[in-house]
Structure 1
Amino acid sequence: MRALVAVCLLLSGCTLDRSGEVDELPDVAVDPPVIEASSDIAVEPAADLSVDEPAVDVQNEPAATEADAPPEAEEACEPTTCAAKGVECGTVSDGCGADLSCGTCEGGAICSAAGKCCQPKTCGDLGAACGDADDGCGQTLDCGTCPLPKQPCVLNKCEACVPDDCNALLPLCNYQPDGCGKTVYCSCPSGQTCNNGTCCKPKTCADMGNACGTLYDGCGSTISCGCPYGQDCYQNACCAPKKCSDFPGQCGDLYDGCGDTVYCGCAYGEACFQGKCCTPKKCTELSPSCGSLYDQCGGTVSCSCPYGETCSQGTCCKPKSCTEMHPLCGPLYDGCGGPLNCGCAYGEVCYQQQCCTPLKCVDNGWNCGTPPDGCGGTLSCGTCSSGKVCAQNKCQ
Structure 2
Amino acid sequence: MECSSGGCCPIPFCPTGIQAIGRCPSGIGCPIATICANGLCCPSPRCSSGVIAQRICVSNAECGNGFECANGGCCPLPLCPNNQIGSQRCPSGGCCCPTGQQCVNDVCCPLPACSNGILSATMCMSGNVCPQGMECNNGGCCPLPMCPSGAQPSGRCQRDSCPAGQVCENGVCCPLPICSNGQFANKLCDYGNSCPMGYICEGRGCCLEPVPLCPNGARANQQCNRGVDCPPGFGCTATGACCLLSLEPVCPSNQNAICQCSSTNNCPPQTSCNMGTCCTSVLSK
| Larger of the two Rg values belongs to structure | 1
In the superposition, the TM-score normalised over structure 2's length comes to: 0.29
The structure with the greater share of residues assigned to helix is 1
In the superposition, the TM-score normalised over structure 1's length comes to 0.23
Q: Relative contact order: is structure 1 or structure 2 higher (C-alpha 8 Å, sep ≥ 6)?
A: 2
